């Protein structure tokens, strides 16, 4: 349990970025891609959530590294 707590403390920002990216990917799929559906990958919910999660985690890591290098 201690290892899990340490992991969550050390990776809080990327995990929040992954969760936020997945939610934004779902919102994008629901409001935009679901209605247009011209691009085959955009028609799938899991693809948009996965790409959003990857992008969100990547951006959160970049922001975290930038903020840590400033201090």
Quick one: average pLDDT of 58-67? 89
CA distance 16 to 8: 10
Q: Which pLDDT score, from 0 to 100, does residue 43 have?
A: 75
Q: What is the pLDDT of residues 14-61, one digit of tens each?
A: 999 999 999 999 998 888 877 666 666 667 888 889 999 999 999 999
CA distance 71 to 66: 9
Contact in structure between 19 and 49 (CB atoms under 8 Å): no
Q: Which pLDDT score, from 0 to 100, does residue 40 have?
A: 66
Q: Which pLDDT score, from 0 to 100, does residue 41 have?
A: 66
């Amino acid at each position: 349990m201690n290892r899990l707590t340490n992991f969550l403390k050390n990776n809080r920002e990327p995990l929040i970025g992954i969760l936020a990216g997945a939610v934004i990917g779902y919102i994008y799929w629901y409001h935009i891609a679901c209605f247009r559906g011209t691009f085959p990958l955009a028609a799938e919910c899991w693809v948009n959530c996965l790409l959003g999660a990857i992008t969100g985690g990547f951006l959160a890591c970049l922001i975290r590294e930038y903020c840590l290098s400033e201090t």
